[in-house]
Structure 1
Amino acid sequence: MPVWLIWLIVALGLAGAEALTGDMFLLMLAGGALAATGSSALLDWPVWADGAVFLVVSVLLLVLVRPALRRRLLSGHGLPDPVQALEGKSALVLDRVARHEGQVKLDGEVWTARPLNDDDVFEPGDHVTVVKIDGATAVVFRSL
């Protein structure tokens, strides 16, 4: 079996294992193994030189690429824009809204709802304003 094929199998194995962890560490090692595959296939170097290529490329990827990639992937921007657009809108109470129950019609859709203040109760037909969206629940208070 050619050495470049072994490096390719190692690269694919590391990339597959990365799918289980999601930490981007094994993916950087897979990049190093892929570079060793290329050097082994294109250049007639000894195996230790391919190992050195693997080591150098893996370290460079871990130090230079991984931090930027993790920052990019982990940077959350809060609620998606369509949900934020619902905040401040008026809604019609369809089902009695109390501490642990209620439904409102908001922007043409039926949403579960709860009052901003736990002691507030809104009856069907009342108009309320959405303060925020908490998961799939609209948090509401009485419209003025």
Structure 2
Amino acid sequence: MKWWFSDYDGTLTLKKDEYKININTQEFIKSWVKKNQLIITTGRSVDDLKKCIEYLDLGLSYFIINNGAAIIKDNEILYNKTIPMSEREVIYNGLKKLHKRFGIKISDTLNCKILAGIEVGLEKYQENFIWKNWFNVKDIFNDYIDEVITNID
């Protein structure tokens, strides 16, 4: 058995913002996983990734998600590394400086939540090169930050 590790966005997909995988690539993956394993490695959370690939029915079991912070096999968590409690407040203070200038999303192993988007009208940004869903996002940054800082998971 051979193991193939691949990024998702812009590697298996042709464009970063698209969820679709080329039909030839889909057929190759289906053939490959009959005798081998394909492990998608991504910065995405598992729920976000599954939204992208479930409809393709590719027969995938393994995912390395959240930029390597977790490994999932058939919905079972094999590995999970959380941010140490001692570092969360430092990260929060950095995020406060980025708030409304960048999209902010938090993830645990199985779920993710968008806390804030990019403030519309900032001259630096144009929707044509940034994922359009980062604009006009309900800002819940301050509503969840205590949970992020105090939740041991």
State the TM bucket, normalised to the shorter chain.
under 0.3
Q: Which structure would you say has the larger Rg?
A: 1
Kindly indicate which of the two structures has a greater share of residues assigned to strand: 1
TM-score, structure 2 normalization = 0.18
Kindly indicate which of the two structures has a greater share of residues assigned to helix: 1
